[in-house]
Structures are given as structure tokens and as C-alpha cells.
Structure 1
Amino acid sequence: MYAAARSLLFKLDAERAHELTLETFRHFPKLATWPFAHGAVNDPVELLGLRFANRVGLAAGLDKNGECLDAWGRLGFGFVEVGTVTPRAQPGNPKPRMFRLPEHTAIINRLGFNNRGVDYLLERVAGSDYRGVLGINIGKNFDTPIERAAEDYLVCLRKVWRAASYVTVNISSPNTKNLRELQSEARLRALLAQLKGEGDRLAQMHGKRTPLLVKIAPDVDDEQLDAIARVARETGIDGLIATNTTITRDAVAGHALAGETGGLSGAPLKPLADRTLAALRKRVGADFVLIGVGGITCAQDACDKRTAGADLVQIYSGFIYRGPALVRDCADALRRLPPSR
């Protein structure tokens, strides 16, 4: 059934198809129940002080404004991450800015944190019936100087603290100018120290602890990974998400769209994302939470993430190509793996 729906959606511009899907699920969330979904795989796991229904989550970026939470819950995700959201609404980069590469089961996007702002997202969350684990991914506005980025992250952190099950700090999108500079050791340490300090204050104020995670790029070398792992452990951040999209094009060289700027996701990202994940696991140790994302298009891909060191996994581009069956296939495969944590 999804193959038929996809064939129609793929006749549209990639971003328009994305918008149409979100509009449909926003207004008719029950369409996510039938004929696409058959209930969530029951494979509960406790991490970060939270109980996840299973190990497969929806990655940030697909539902930036938190408009379809009721639908995602019906599709069997063990947790959902929305955003990236910024303090103020912003349109993102000029269109066209999303491109499919079906031959590679891939997508290139340069959306640029297009979203309706943190207050709108919180309104949507408050109006939702979703009661599962909810991650909220936060970023900075495009016109905020990198030297003042912490101010934007702090605004968002304060606002989403009570609504979020966990908060992800996005410092790795390639589509916001200079954002990846925040992955340098000095800037990362300064940013995370401020966020962790504010998180401790908010936890005391609200009587609620909200774990903080950081999403990193796959385009980092060993020295940068050393620094990221060291800073994450020393500042007391709760976990890392590996990885965001890549700016490399080696895996799609020669494709007509390979020259489009933006982040490449989907199957070509998997080897790079898996290597980054495995390298992080070696550096942070066995007791640190890692979420693996990037290139999952089948159940074996999800199992590969677990082997590389992921406690949980997230999907996005694979979901666009495979549909809801991918959620259940991955969750069921991970349920069958021998426990490693």
C-alpha cells in the first residue's frame, strides 16, 4: 500500500510531497493506523531515566514543528524527536532545497532550520494526545552570530524543558552558516557548560530532570572525535546522537544532483555514520548513551547500528523510501538481538 502512495508522492517536488504528507497526518492522524501500521513492537528499554517503547525513533527534521505527533505514535515509533526549532520563526533557505536521489536511496537537503518557532511547537505538543518519549531538537536562528549562539540555545532550553522528555542540541547541521564551528573543543565546552548549568537550575526549579543530548556531524576527524567525547563526558551531557547529514559526495559522485549543496542522507551516509558511531563508543565507554542515525533503510542496518554501539536508533530518509513497514521491521529485529546493555 505504501508503495502506491509513494509512487504518487514521488511525482511531486520532494519538499511539496513532504509538506503534503505532514498536512495529511496533521489533520487526519488516524490515517497512520490503517493500512500502514500494525501496532508498535513491544520492546521496552530504560535509558536516560526514560522508558522507551522500543529502540526505533523518528529522527529530527521530518516534523520540525511537532504537528503530527498523534500520527507518529500510531506508526509504532518507540520515541519521537521533533525540530530543529529555533527561538524565532524563520523561513529557511531559498527553494528548491530538497532533492531525492532514488538510485541511491538518498536525499540532499539544505532546508536551513525552517520552522515556525519554539512557541508554536510547544502549542502543538500541548494539543497532542501523544504520551510517548518526546525529544525536542533545538538550534539557533540563522541571523544570530555564532558568538551569541548560546543565547538562542538557552532560550529554547528554558521553554521546552517541561514539555520535552529529552532535549537535543543541534550543532551539526551543514545548512546554517558556521554552525559546525560549535563542534570545536573550546566552543563546544563553553556552550555545553552553559546549557548543563542552566539545565541543573531548571531541574531544581521545576522538579523535573530533562536529559541533554548533542547531535554531531559525520564529517569529523579522529582529533575532533576525541575532543567531542572528552567534552561530553567532562561537562556531564547525557548522550550523543551520531550522526547528522554529510557534506561529502563520494558515494553519489557522478549523479546529476551530486553538486547540490546541503546535507546528504540515506543509504550513502550509513558507512560514514556507522564509523563515527563506533569511534564514539570506543571513546565514551559502555555506560554513555549513544543514538545511531544515518542510512537505516532495512532491519539489518538498524542491527548494524547496535553492533557499532548504539543504544537506540532513529530513521528519517529510509522512512521516506520504505514507509511505516521499516519502523516495525527495525524494531522487531532489534528486539530479537541478544541484549548487550
Structure 2
Amino acid sequence: MYRHLLRPALFRLDAEDAHHLTLRGLELASAVPLWPALARPLSAPPAPRLRQEVWGRAYASPLGLAAGLDKNGVAVPAFAALGFGFLEVGTVTPLAQPGNDRPRLFRLPQDGALINRMGFNNGGAPALAGRLAALGRRPVPVWVNIGKNKATPNEAAAEDYLKCVRAVQEVADAFVVNVSSPNTPGLRALQAADDLGALVRAVVAEVEAGRVSRLSRPPVLVKLAPDLHPADFEASVGAVLDAGAHGLIVSNTTLARDGLTHPHREQTGGLSGRPLTERSTELVREAYRLSRGRVPVVGVGGIFTAEDAYAKLRAGASLVEVYSALIYEGPGLVGRINRGLSALLERDGARSVAEIVGVEA
């Protein structure tokens, strides 16, 4: 129904208008009493092979929602009801900001891709904290992706990240330090090893100081770009690990335009979707190799099928995330990938996801 009815209708609209319309529908669905709780057992029936424990927390599926789709956490119950194992909301900044001028989101259908230059448009960390707190107990872990305000200079960026931590500390199941978006001027410069190490060390210290129980402290992950030179990527991974981060997300959107055919390829911004499939899997493998499996790696970029997700798991990802494929394939994608992953694990005689993580790294 999505492919033949809903998607054609949505794709007649401006990409961002369609995004807001869909998100509004999911927000309304989230408010329907009992619906999300009743829908999840149908969309995500128990699948023992998909279950694993990461950072001391149970994940019913390795498949999560990537940041950027629900920046303000308005539809957490509805997304959980689709069958995701976890959700990443944001990017959120200390102060609300409108982001870049429109148009700023573009579809490239024949390439299976999106280009965005949104610019961290969001309602601010305090608003997100209030919204997540109002939900009470959530069916899946909710990670918060944090960044700096556009007007904040890089030399003061660390304080913006710490403000975000303080605002959402009590409601975040994990923090994702975003230094790799191409749509905030100068942000990617924070990936330089020395700057990145100092930033991550400050965030980890703030998180550790903010919770009474060590068991309740959310892990800190760092999201890296796919456009780093191999030597810089290695240096950044080393800096992240030395600073005490608990995980890596590989990778963010790319500035590369290799092989694209759609006229929108000329638009500025970060590219996501199918063109990143192989590149992000290669980087997952490299991150796993560099970290020697010491911290979990989250693979994101161009996952459209269970086979795509399985390749990233075997390359070294403990968890994976989708975004662009959801726009093209619709809500049924989540269940299809979960069922496909279960079948692939059964085919290979694996009793759990953990048994195949990194076997091809």
C-alpha cells in the first residue's frame, strides 16, 4: 500500500512538506491510547536470535532509527510500534534554532538517495527533555544526538554539548556526539583528533558526574563522517577511544557525489541512502579493526534490506540504523528487515546477533 498509494502521493509534495506531514501523522498516532503498546507485539514479535545485550541494556532488535527523522522526539511511541529495537532522536542543540533556509531536503529517487542541508533545526534540548519525560517508561531505548548551535564558535562548542547533556541527562538512554554533520559551518573541524578527544572527554566526564548510579549512566557514542582521509579516520577513532567514549556510529552523510544520476546531485548538503551502502560498511569494518572490538560500533548508511544490515553486522556493527530507506520503502521496512535478519542468522546456524558481529572484519 505504501509503495503504490502513499509514496506516490507523498512524492508529489515538496520533500520537507511530506516529511512534516508524515511526522505529524505519527505524532497523532503516538497519542492514541494503548495503540503503540498493542501494535508493537504485532510488528515486532519475539525473535530470540535478534536479542542481545549492549552496554548492559537489552536490545530486542539490532535495527534502530537514525537521527534526523524525529529531531524533537514527537513520535517516539509510533516509531517504537513499528518494531525498531531503539530510536535515535535529534540532533538537538541547547537553544532552539530554525536551521538553514528552505529548500533544504531533496529526493533522488533513481539513486535511492536523499540530500539534506537542514542545519540542526530543532526545538532545543529543554523541550526535548520535557517531551521524553512525559512519556514515562518507553518500550525501547531512546538515544539523544547532541550538537552545537550554529552561532556558537568552535572554541566554545564543548559547553553547548555539555548543556545538552545536562538538559536531557535523566531521559537519555545514550548520547551521540555529532561532530560530523556537513550542514553546520565548521562543525566537521571538531573531528580533528585533539579537538575531538577534548570534547569527548568533557562529555564523558559530565555524564559520569550527572548520575548517582554507575549502572544508570548512559553510554556516550561519537558519530563520524565518511569523508575523512584514512589517516584522519584512524586518528579520530583513536582519540575517541582514548577519551573514554563507549561506542562509535559509522557513518554520517557524505559530501561525495560519485555515480549519481539525478539532477539534484548538484545540491549542496549531506548525501544519504544507497550510494553510502558499501562505503559505510567498509568504514564499519575499519572502525571495528581499529578499536579491536573494544567498544560497540553502530553501522548506518544505505541499509535497504536485511542483507545490507547483515553485511554491516558481519563487518563489525553490533547495531545498525536506517533513515533514507524508510522514506522509500515505508513503515513495513522495519518488520521485513527484522524477519530477514532472523532468517539469515538461522541459515548460518547463529543463535544470536552477537555471534556474527565482526566475523568478516
Shorter-normalised TM range: over 0.9
Flag the 1:194–1:249 CA change in 2: closer, same or farther, 3 A. Answer: same
Q: Which amino acid aligns with 2:254?
A: T
For 1:220 and 1:303, the matched residues in 2 are separated by: 24
Q: Which amino acid aligns with 2:2?
A: Y
Correspondence 1:40 to 2:44:
yes
- 3-state SS of 1:163 partner: coil
Asked if the contact 2:40–2:80 (Cα under 8 Å) also holds between the matched residues in 1, the reply is no
Asked if the contact 2:174–2:220 (Cα under 8 Å) also holds between the matched residues in 1, the reply is yes
For 2:279 and 2:333, the matched residues in 1 are separated by: 21
The alpha carbon displacement at 1:36 in A equals 11
For 1:261 and 1:227, the matched residues in 2 are separated by: 27
Q: How many residues align?
A: 340
Structure 1 segment 121-160 matched on structure 2, within 5 A: 121-128=128-135, 130-160=138-168
Cα displacement string for residues 202-261 of structure 1 (whole angstroms, at most 9, x for unaligned residues): 134897311000011011121112112211221111000001100000131x43111100
Asked if the contact 1:243–1:273 (Cα under 8 Å) also holds between the matched residues in 2, the reply is yes
Correspondence 1:245 to 2:253:
yes
Q: Structure 1 residues 297-306 or 107-116, which shifts more?
A: 297-306
Aligned to 2:199: 191
For 1:131 and 1:244, the matched residues in 2 are separated by: 26
Q: Which amino acid aligns with 2:307?
A: Q
The alpha carbon displacement at 1:85 in A equals 0.3
Q: Structure 1 residues 220-229 or 34-43, which shifts more?
A: 34-43
For 2:162 and 2:52, the matched residues in 1 are separated by: 30
Flag the 1:76–1:276 CA change in 2: closer, same or farther, 3 A. Answer: same
The alpha carbon displacement at 1:187 in A equals 0.5
Correspondence 1:26 to 2:42:
no
Asked if the contact 2:208–2:214 (Cα under 8 Å) also holds between the matched residues in 1, the reply is no
Flag the 1:280–1:23 CA change in 2: closer, same or farther, 3 A. Answer: same
Correspondence 1:208 to 2:216:
yes
Aligned to 1:236: 244
Q: Structure 1 residues 283-292 or 125-134, which shifts more?
A: 125-134
Flag the 1:173–1:270 CA change in 2: closer, same or farther, 3 A. Answer: same
Correspondence 1:268 to 2:275:
yes
For 2:102 and 2:191, the matched residues in 1 are separated by: 28
Q: Structure 1 residues 104-113 or 24-33, which shifts more?
A: 24-33
Aligned to 1:15: 16
- 3-state SS of 1:126 partner: helix
Correspondence 1:2 to 2:2:
yes
- 3-state SS of 2:123 partner: coil
Q: Which amino acid aligns with 1:115?
A: N
Correspondence 1:164 to 2:172:
yes
Aligned to 1:75: 82
For 2:9 and 2:337, the matched residues in 1 are separated by: 25
**Normalised TM-score (structure 2):** 0.90
**Aligned residue among 48, 52, 59 for 2:59:** 52
The alpha carbon displacement at 1:13 in A equals 0.3
For 2:123 and 2:214, the matched residues in 1 are separated by: 26
Aligned to 2:356: 340
**Normalised TM-score (structure 1):** 0.95
For 1:60 and 1:50, the matched residues in 2 are separated by: 20
Q: Which amino acid aligns with 1:272?
A: R
Q: Structure 1 residues 226-235 or 331-340, which shifts more?
A: 331-340
Flag the 1:86–1:198 CA change in 2: closer, same or farther, 3 A. Answer: same
**Aligned residue among 317, 331, 334 for 2:324:** 317
- 3-state SS of 1:258 partner: helix
- 3-state SS of 2:253 partner: coil
Q: Which amino acid aligns with 1:40?
A: A
Asked if the contact 1:162–1:206 (Cα under 8 Å) also holds between the matched residues in 2, the reply is no
For 1:104 and 1:283, the matched residues in 2 are separated by: 31
For 1:316 and 1:305, the matched residues in 2 are separated by: 15
The alpha carbon displacement at 1:47 in A equals 0.3
Flag structure 2 segments of 5+ consecutive residues without an equivalent.
none
- 3-state SS of 2:317 partner: coil
Flag the 1:198–1:257 CA change in 2: closer, same or farther, 3 A. Answer: same
Aligned to 1:284: 291
The alpha carbon displacement at 1:201 in A equals 1.1
Asked if the contact 1:59–1:314 (Cα under 8 Å) also holds between the matched residues in 2, the reply is yes
The alpha carbon displacement at 1:170 in A equals 0.5
For 1:131 and 1:298, the matched residues in 2 are separated by: 24
Asked if the contact 1:293–1:314 (Cα under 8 Å) also holds between the matched residues in 2, the reply is yes
The alpha carbon displacement at 1:329 in A equals 1.9
Q: Which amino acid aligns with 1:134?
A: V
Structure 1 segment 299-314 matched on structure 2, within 5 A: 299-314=306-321
- 3-state SS of 2:264 partner: coil
